[in-house]
Chain A
Amino acid sequence: MRKEMSNSARLAMFAPLDQLGRAEAVAARLLDAITLGLLDDAEQLPSEIELAAQFRVSTVTVREALAVLRQQGLVETRRGRGGGSFVRTPAWPAPSSWAQRLRLVSLADLRDFGDHYLAVAGSAAKLASERSSPEDLERLRLTSEDLLGTTGPEATRAERHFHLEVAAAAQSPRLTNQEVQLQGEHGGLLWVPLDGEDTCRQSYAEHHAIVTAIAAADGDLARKLTEEHILSALDRLVDLHLSLETP
């Protein structure tokens, strides 16, 4: 059975790229989609012409982007009947692919992404404090505990799931959709457990504090803690980006 992320995540993935997209930007978008699992292993990519139309770039640019991904072994192109480009999901994205993705992001984009994400996740936490039922709180607690003792992709998933649950507890479909879209953009990067288990323990403590504030119906505190939690993740990301730029 084919597995899919929500439609909104798919839409975000195929949103037109700013300006004349460069092959690297198309490659980066597809790389994100593959490493985030929005595109499944062995899933056939749309044709070069369709991709070009979706990203609003030329087919030549798409071809270049696919060549980059092919080199990294993330896409396989078969000729002839039933041919086309197919996704080859890595067992777990090699650190180099995250690094590559992060190198392509500008600090200006990261800051802007961070601003948007803070606005969405912070508001969601505040509203969740006003609107969470005991059932919602129980689910938030369970989800925050998912981070305990995890590393790697499990930790990333637990982070993303936690923030998704907070948005849902806010009872807001719009904030939830924004959360999903933002995660589709850079969320995979944001929640990469860069420093291993220490970061996870720290993140768990932060989640726990956020849930406690939500349970106490303290919206201002929940918002503040959520913003701090995200800011520290953004800081880690920027640090890594800078270290990559000046080897």
Chain B
Amino acid sequence: MTDTRTLTGDEVVAQVSALVEEIFERLKPVLAAAETLLAEPGGAGSGTLHGIRPPVLEALGGLVIGAGFVSAPHVLSDQEFGFEWWTTTGSDQTPEQLFISLDPESPNFLDYTRQSWFTVPRDSGRRHINGPYVDYLCTDEYTLTFTLPVYRDGAFAGVVGADVYVREFERTVSRRLRSLGRRAALLNAQGRVIVSNSVRQATGSLVRDVDVPAWWTSGAEPQTMSGGATLRRCGDSPIALLVSV
């Protein structure tokens, strides 16, 4: 029997799924370049990271306003931390390289190995969408960061990632979300609102009346709540669509 209610939002789900897959697709050449670089005999140092620049610059565009590789500690031969990251956040959209403090002794050093865009792929071995969160290391903006784990000899060696502004993601999906005609929101796996069509679900707020993390843990199958709200996953992405009655 087809439960028509669980099909509410097919178009939104398809669009979000396609968006997410396209962004991860853009990262694949970056991942390949990073793994090739790290696998080179003698290892990779901070001076050789620029080798992955061409696919990184290629990954920029569309919704992607930042991309690059971030190494795990002690993966590079000559320094503890390291990364190659480029952004198009300037007014003229020209790619610019991001520099942050990598010196643990510096007063400005912020340990990126605590950021979820780093820890989740490291600990799960799977791709991850981090956020919405305030990316104070790079964009200074409300951001979604898509990351894939990078391996060397089977060991976690860092992540490749892409940054998307929440506001641009919102612009892309808001028309379809509004056309649903019911209160609806796209949520991350923690139940945080990425975009909604209702004033009652502010961007960045956590949905409390549904236990979204528990739903993800138990398989994220389409579900109709007792009140009639539906929760379903957008394709293979870690984004869910919650439609209220």
Contacts and interface: CB of A to CB of B under 8 A. Distances in A.
Interface of A: 1-8, 36-38, 130-131, 133-135, 139, 142-143, 153, 156-157, 160-161, 164, 167-168, 170-173, 176-177, 180, 188
Interface stretch (B21-29, B102-110, B174-182, B233-241): B102-110
A130 B205 contact: yes
B48 interface: no
7 contacts: A38-B108, A135-B190, A143-B114, A156-B107, A167-B134, A176-B136, A188-B107
Contact of B100 (A4, A167, A168): A4
B53 interface: no
Given A4-B101, A37-B101, A176-B134, A171 B204 contact: yes
Contacts of B170: none
A2 to B, nearest CB: 5
Contacts of B103: 3
A133 B134 CA distance: 13
A1 B101 CA distance: 9
Contact of A173 (B116, B134, B205): B134
Interface of B: 46, 99-103, 106-110, 114, 116, 132-134, 136-137, 140-142, 190-192, 203-206, 213
Contacts, number: 82
A173 B140 contact: yes
A212 B137 CA distance: 25
Interface secondary structure of A, over-half rule:
helix
A3 B107 contact: no
Contacts of A130: 205-206
Contact of A153 (B107, B192, B204): B107
Contacts of A38: 108
Contacts of A142: 114
Contacts of B142: 171, 173
Contact of A164 (B100, B136, B213): B136
Contacts of A6: 136-137, 140
A171 B132 CA distance: 8
Nearest to B105: A153
A135 to B, nearest CB: 5
A49 B110 CA distance: 33
A173 B141 contact: yes
A123 to B, nearest CB: 14
Contact of A37 (B108, B190, B204): B108
A238 B140 CA distance: 32
Contacts of B99: 1-4
Nearest to A180: B136
Given A3-B101, A160-B107, 20 more contacts: A2-B99, A3-B103, A3-B108, A6-B136, A37-B107, A131-B205, A131-B206, A133-B190, A134-B190, A134-B213, A142-B114, A157-B109, A168-B133, A168-B136, A170-B134, A171-B132, A171-B134, A171-B192, A173-B134, A177-B140
B109 A133 contact: no
A216 to B, nearest CB: 14
A133 B191 CA distance: 9
Contacts of B116: 135, 139
Q: Which 3 A-B pairs have the closest CB atoms?
A: A171-B204, A3-B101, A168-B134
A241 to B, nearest CB: 22
A8 B108 contact: no
Most A CB contacts (10 A, CB to CB) among B103, B132, B134, B190 go to B134
